[in-house]
Amino acid sequence: MDPASMIGLVETFYTIGVKILDICSTWKHADSEVEKRVIFIESCRDRTKRQVDFVMRITSIMDEDHCRMMDELLNQLMLSLSLAIISLETVAQKPSSARSGVFGLGFRAKKAAWVWKKEALDGIISELEEWERQFDPSWFLLMTIVNPVLDRELVLAKTTEAKAHGLATAAKTPLALAAGLRNVLSPSTEQTKWVFLKELQMEWLDIPFSVARIGCDRLGYDKKWYIVDTIELGQVARVRDFMQDVCVLATKLSQADPLAFGLLNCKGVVRCLGNGSFGDVWEEHCVSGPSHNAIRAVKQLRKRQSKFPEMSRREIQALVTFSDSYTPEYKQHFVQFLGWFDDLENSYIVMEFLQHGDLQKFINAPFPEPEAASIVFQVAQALQYMHRKNFVHRDI
């Protein structure tokens, strides 16, 4: 791509864009429907101008294929805008009103003028949206270029972009979104830490024909609904790598603009350690207090179960008994009880977090006999301690 021809295309784009806005500005307050369309066109032009300006500043680090692609896209944009000017000028030259007559011809002429303007603006909007769909893949591919020039220009560009409320989108803040995407292409360990959220007290609804569910935080003020999908981790040997992949994917999806990428934006990950007929066990991170950042296992017990009162009382009693700090051998065989709390529908038992996971996942494959003997011996010792305290574990 010849830099001179690129500069010429950009200057033509600026000239045509200003001319289109001048024509549209005369219609801006004519009708609310027309005004909406004019504002949308102004927004598209502003976004495209910022992106084209940025591309011009990094042409020196773009490869030949990317430059050729950008050249073709800009030529296509010039053609669409040139045709748009012809369409707008044709409508502008048509009479917008007529004298009122017995049969209300003046009203009909005014209505016809509104229809002409609407159709002309809708045509421009359709062309711009189609061009943006073709331009966006090339635009985001720019963010994969490994070069400090790109990082420096992104920092400069972000400072000139007004801060928008809410999630950054390709329409509102294209440069900020591009910078965010580049930042998470290879996220660091620090970047992936945020993805784990505390377990929320959710109100759940099933999604027909889907394993995912939608949930709403019952205690939240905004009452937002979220789509929640559950992934089975499988064998313990894969858990570490699998969790790393989940963290990286969640971090990348946190920067996803649904309209630009066709992907849902990720809000975070909640780790479920296990589940049963009475409730689930979740991994939680303490967000305040003296145990800030501590990891705990929280068992959720559903109160609607008919056996809940007796079952929960016995479980808490057993946990308290075998968390006795004056009996060190208990700590070697029993998970330690840290506290409990409840709400209208559930009770929650807080316990120490054991990072190696569920024993069931270890024994899905052939298990060495010496290790099996060691585990059986430890379980037998724990059962002996329980029997001495008049507790019987019926599932063993």
The string of pLDDT tens digits covering residues 51-91 is 888 888 888 888 888 888 888 888 888 888 788 777 777 77
Q: What is the pLDDT of residue 358?
A: 67
Q: Does 102 fall in a domain? A: yes
Measured in degrees and rounded to the nearest 5, phi and psi for residue 200 equal: -100, 155
How many CB atoms within 10 Å of residue 367?
A: 11
279 shares its domain with 210: no
DSSP 60: G
Of 53, 219, 33, give the one whose Cα is nearest residue 139: 53
Number of domains in the chain: 3
Q: Span 142-146, mean pLDDT? A: 81
Q: Return the residue matching tokens 């400072």.
A: 159
Q: Does 396 fall in a domain? A: no
pLDDT for 319-331, tens place per residue? 888 888 778 778 8
Domain span at residue 229 reads 202-251
19 shares its domain with 158: yes
210 shares its domain with 339: no
Whether 116 contacts 27, CB under 8 Å: no
More confident residue, 223 or 370: 370
Of 266, 284, 286, 274, give the one whose Cα is nearest residue 192: 266
Measured in degrees and rounded to the nearest 5, phi and psi for residue 337 equal: -85, 130
Q: Span 106-130, mean pLDDT? A: 67
Q: Does 98 fall in a domain? A: yes
- What is the pLDDT confidence band of residue 108, given thresholds at 50, 70 and 90? very low
122 shares its domain with 154: yes
CB under 8 A, 24+ apart: contacts of 315-319: 315/349, 316/340, 316/349, 318/386, 318/391, 319/349, 319/351
**pTM score, whole prediction:** 0.48
Whether 13 contacts 77, CB under 8 Å: yes
119 shares its domain with 243: no
Q: What is the pLDDT of residue 98?
A: 45
Q: Span 252-274, mean pLDDT? A: 71
Number of H helices, E strands in the chain: 12, 8
Kindly tell me if the per-residue pLDDT of 107 is higher than 50. no
- What is the pLDDT confidence band of residue 106, given thresholds at 50, 70 and 90? very low
Q: How high is the mean pLDDT of the chain?
A: 73
Whether 156 contacts 178, CB under 8 Å: no
297 shares its domain with 345: yes
